[in-house]
């Protein structure tokens, strides 16, 4: 049967017999289209996102021990994640092009190799210089994680499954917060604060082996590479600013909530650090739920605005924990996880499905750059405000930043293109239409059933 092109989920499609391949590339046979992902590939994507992010949460979890061991102030503590995301922000200007040239499989192998070296280096750091070098190397991994995983999703997953895949791999960032929050206090008590970082090295080696086994090699596609930094268009720049504001707030919450709980609520080290686990649980659930919800929405910008407003309310609730007690603090942390952390996954789904943001590799890297810039600004600014004015103004500043993000989201609908629901219906028909019956006949039969006599 002949082939003809049709509009799909990403602007093009291929109709082969009765089945519509949403997002398929015109002229490509079905066998050349992205196939459904396997469990091994999901594991690789999860580790690619979780391992670099675990550094931030480990710094927050053992913050008191780090300030004591290296004699640093709260501003100095905030500078550690700032180094990670500062390096990631700068390298994101080129990482998308590098990943596109390497291909998803090779890029993931490079990422896990660098992650292994970073975890070993931070565990062996004898002073502040070694710690800074390890943080910078983790920043390289952060710069590669989103471009590499997004490219893997487009190469290996069916278009109808991509939103869910984005949600799962983005949820891995918060899954690392959950794991760190639960294990870091125990590891620190048993083997010292270095163990909280060193445990990542064998996981990175395992991820290397899993990538070699589960991610199939694909023919190399020639991609030109330029050292000229990638530049966003206005649409992508607006999304970057939104995530910069969100990143400021999330990084401040992740880095300073445990210290705030110990200083102002009198919580024990284990209880205070459990706030990171709460952030992780809420973030995992939010990224899974909101990404699936995104697949059913034609416009995502209204959802981004609502999540940002919810994050502002949650930041005020964390501040109120000093008066209302630990329940308010943990409720506020959970609220930030459900809202601000979930907004990151929604924005990433928007970039994956709307090609007007630019080519996927550079667009993913630039969107991550916005979030990384927020992670650089957030902890340092919060620590400086807390040192000079106290925690109250610092938490109010976090709430104000989230409200700024809500305002920026209100400008997105002017540029956002509604999602192509026909592409999603086409993908559903591919799986549900019986052999020998066309999608059009199924649609007509369903319409007749809905029409009253």
User: What's 173's domain CATH number?
Assistant: 1.20.1250.20
Read off the pLDDT of residues 67-93 as tens digits, 9 standing for 90 and up: 777 776 766 776 777 788 778 888 888
Question: Does a structural domain hold residue 427?
Answer: no
Question: Does a structural domain hold residue 364?
Answer: yes
Specify the pLDDT at position 407: 92
Domain of 167, in residue numbers: 36-215+231-421
**Is this structure's pTM higher than 0.75?**
no
What parts of the chain have a pLDDT lower than 50?
1-37, 420-451, 453
Question: Does a structural domain hold residue 24?
Answer: no
Specify the pLDDT at position 229: 67
- Strand order, beta sheet including 13-16: 3-5, 13-16, 19-22
Question: Does a structural domain hold residue 441?
Answer: no
Specify the pLDDT at position 13: 35
Question: Does a structural domain hold residue 86?
Answer: yes
Specify the pLDDT at position 160: 76
Do 416 and 343 contact (CB within 8 A), yes or no? no
Number of domains within the chain: 1
Which phi-psi region, left, alpha or beta, contains residue 435 (left: φ > 0; alpha: ψ -120 to 50)?
beta
Read off the pLDDT of residues 112-133 as tens digits, 9 standing for 90 and up: 999 988 888 877 776 777 778 8
Specify the pLDDT at position 226: 61
Specify the pLDDT at position 9: 35
Query: Cα separation of 446 and 450, whole Å?
Result: 6
Question: Does a structural domain hold residue 26?
Answer: no
Question: Does a structural domain hold residue 5?
Answer: no
DSSP, residue by residue, 394-426: HHHHHHHHHHHHHHHHTTGGGTPPPP-HHHHHH
Question: Does a structural domain hold residue 8?
Answer: no
DSSP, residue by residue, 301-318: HHHHHHHHHHHHHHHHHH
Q: What six digits make up the tokens of 388?
A: 């000079």
Segments in 6-103 forming alpha helices (H): 39-61, 63-70, 74-102
């Amino acid at each position: 049967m002949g082939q003809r092109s049709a509009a799909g989920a990403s602007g093009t499609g291929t109709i082969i017999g009765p089945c519509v391949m949403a997002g398929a590339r015109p002229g490509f046979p079905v066998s050349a289209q992205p196939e459904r992902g396997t469990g091994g590939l999901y594991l690789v994507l999860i580790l690619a996102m979780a391992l670099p992010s675990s550094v931030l949460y480990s710094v927050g979890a053992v913050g008191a021990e780090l300030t004591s061991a290296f004699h640093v102030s709260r501003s100095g503590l905030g500078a550690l994640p700032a180094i990670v995301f500062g390096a990631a922000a700068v390298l994101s200007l080129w990482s998308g092009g590098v990943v596109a040239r390497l291909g998803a499989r090779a890029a993931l192998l490079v990422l896990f190799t660098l992650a292994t070296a970073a975890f070993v280096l931070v565990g062996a750091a004898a002073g502040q210089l070694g710690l800074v070098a390890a943080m910078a190397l983790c920043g390289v991994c952060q710069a590669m994680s989103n471009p590499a995983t997004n490219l893997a999703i487009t190469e290996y997953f069916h278009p109808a499954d991509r939103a869910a895949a984005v949600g799962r791999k983005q949820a891995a960032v918060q899954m690392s917060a959950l794991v760190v929050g639960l294990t870091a206090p125990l590891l620190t008590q048993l083997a010292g604060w270095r163990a909280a970082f060193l445990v990542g090295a064998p996981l990175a080696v395992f991820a290397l082996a899993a990538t070699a086994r589960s991610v199939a090699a694909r023919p190399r596609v020639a991609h030109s590479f330029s050292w000229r930094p990638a530049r966003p268009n206005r649409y992508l720049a607006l999304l970057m600013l939104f995530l910069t504001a969100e990143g400021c707030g999330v990084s401040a919450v992740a880095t300073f909530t445990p210290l705030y709980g110990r200083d102002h609520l009198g919580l024990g080290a284990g209880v205070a650090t459990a706030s990171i686990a709460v952030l992780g649980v809420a973030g995992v659930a939010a990224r899974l739920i909101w990404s699936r919800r995104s697949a059913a929405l034609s416009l995502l910008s209204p959802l981004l605005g609502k999540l940002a407003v919810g994050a502002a309310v949650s930041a005020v609730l964390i501040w109120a924990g000093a008066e209302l007690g630990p329940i308010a603090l943990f409720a506020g942390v959970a609220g930030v996880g459900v809202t601000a952390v979930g907004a990151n996954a929604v924005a990433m789904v928007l970039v994956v499905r709307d090609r007007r943001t630019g080519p996927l590799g550079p667009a993913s890297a630039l969107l991550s750059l916005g979030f990384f810039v927020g992670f650089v600004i957030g902890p340092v600014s919060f620590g400086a405000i807390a040192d000079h004015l106290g925690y109250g103004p610092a938490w109010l500043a976090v709430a104000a930043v989230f409200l700024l993000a809500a305002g920026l989201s209100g400008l997105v609908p002017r540029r956002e293109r509604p999602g192509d629901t026909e592409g999603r219906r086409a993908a559903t028909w591919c799986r549900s239409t019986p052999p020998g019956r066309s999608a059009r006949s199924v649609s007509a039969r369903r319409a007749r059933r809905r029409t009253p006599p």
